[in-house]
Structure formats: C-alpha cells, structure tokens
Amino acid sequence: MLEEGLILSVKNLNVDFNGHKILDNLSLDLKRDSTLAIIGPNGAGKTVFIKTLLGLINYSGNITWQKDVRIGYVPQKLSVSRELPLTVLEFLILKEKDTKKINDILLKVGFKQKAEHIHHDIRVLNTKLGSLSGGEVQRILMAYALLGNPNVLLLDEPTAGVDIKGEETFYELFKNLKKDSDLTIIFISHDEEIVTKYADNIIKLIHEH
C-alpha cells in the first residue's frame, strides 16, 4: 500500500544488463501532482529508468504505483519509415475511437484549426506519420499519450527535434494541463533552463567508474 499523497514509490531499484550495472539501488518517493526531472550524461541510465518504471525492463527491487494511476508515455524517438502507410488519424485511433477527442487534443498540442503550413493544422490527420517532421512526430506522440486521459506522464526527452519556440510551447502546455487536472510529470531533459523553470524535484543520474 502506498501512502496517501504519493503517486509512486521506488525502493532499492537495481537494473543490470549482462552483469553491467545500469541502475544501482535507486530509491525515491514521488508526490502526486509534482514534476520530476531526470538529468545526467548520456548513458547514465535515464531512459532505462523511465522504461523500468513502465515495466518494459526486468529489475529487482520495488516499484509501487498508486492504484488509480493512468500512465501516458512519450518515447524518446519514433523511427517511422516514410514507407509506412499509416496516417496520423489511423495512429491516434489505435488508442481513441472518438474523433472529436482527437481533434481537441491536437489543438492542445499546438496543431492549428486553420492551415498555416502544409502539415500545420488539423489536416495533419490525413498525413502519413512518416512524412511528418521530427517536431511534429513528437507532438503527435504527446497527443497519443494524452488521449488516455493520464494522471502521470513519462516523457523521455519529449522535445528532442523540436525548435526552441516549440519547446517552450510544450512545457507551457504541461503547465496548463497541470492547472486543469491532477497530473504528475516525470521527464528527461538536457536543458538546464527548462529543468529549473518547470521541475520541482530533480534526480541526477551519474556514471560510476
């Protein structure tokens, strides 16, 4: 049982790949509705940590989520082939049948009702996922995560490939989402300015030699 007010408790978490220790005895308690940033150099295990929290990687130790948890996950990068004939709508519909909800979420993540650029509007729905720019894919992934009406977002460098203006929009969006509802965010970032501005807790993972 998890203490009230907490959304996540991690105790003595260990992950190793082929005898190589990636996460060494990590413990933390995370309050509901807080924002946790994970920072650290490449290869320190940030992505592994997020994936372990999702249950994608074998670990020892304890990971306990609050019972009512609904997790939305934005992976680091999606390598979608241009050859994949999957439209944005067909992708989002894998999670949510209601197209009105899909439209609302697309507006939230910054796609406009009217065309400004070629993809930059709701018509993005009929564009192939593989034809989008890196930043657009990230926003679609964000929309996908939000479609499950999550109360926890796990974001693995959500703004990789997004320009600076877009990055600010993203984090402003998180701020607004938090205002509207109970939302815990765990995100990986390399941007110190963003981290200090938006996170209320920071974990720094380091290499041990």
Instruction: Write the DSSP string, 108-141.
Output: HTT-BSS-SSSSSBGGGGGSBGGGS-HHHHHHHH
**Amino acid in position 119:** H
Contact 170, 158 (CB under 8 A): yes
134 contacts another protein (rule: CB under 8 A):
no
CB of 149 to another protein, least distance (A): 13
CB of 126 to another protein, least distance (A): 8
Answer for which of 2, 6, 63, 78 binds another protein (CB under 8 A) is: 78
Helix (H, G, I), strand (E, B), or coil: what is residue 173? helix
Locus of tokens 């003595």? 12
Distance CA 121, CA 114 (A): 6
CB of 10 to another protein, least distance (A): 17
Answer for which of 51, 174, 186, 195 binds another protein (CB under 8 A) is: 51
CB of 67 to another protein, least distance (A): 15
Catalog residues that contact another protein under the rule CB under 8 A.
Answer: 51, 54-56, 71, 73, 75, 78, 80, 83-87, 90-91, 94-95, 126, 128-129, 144, 148, 154
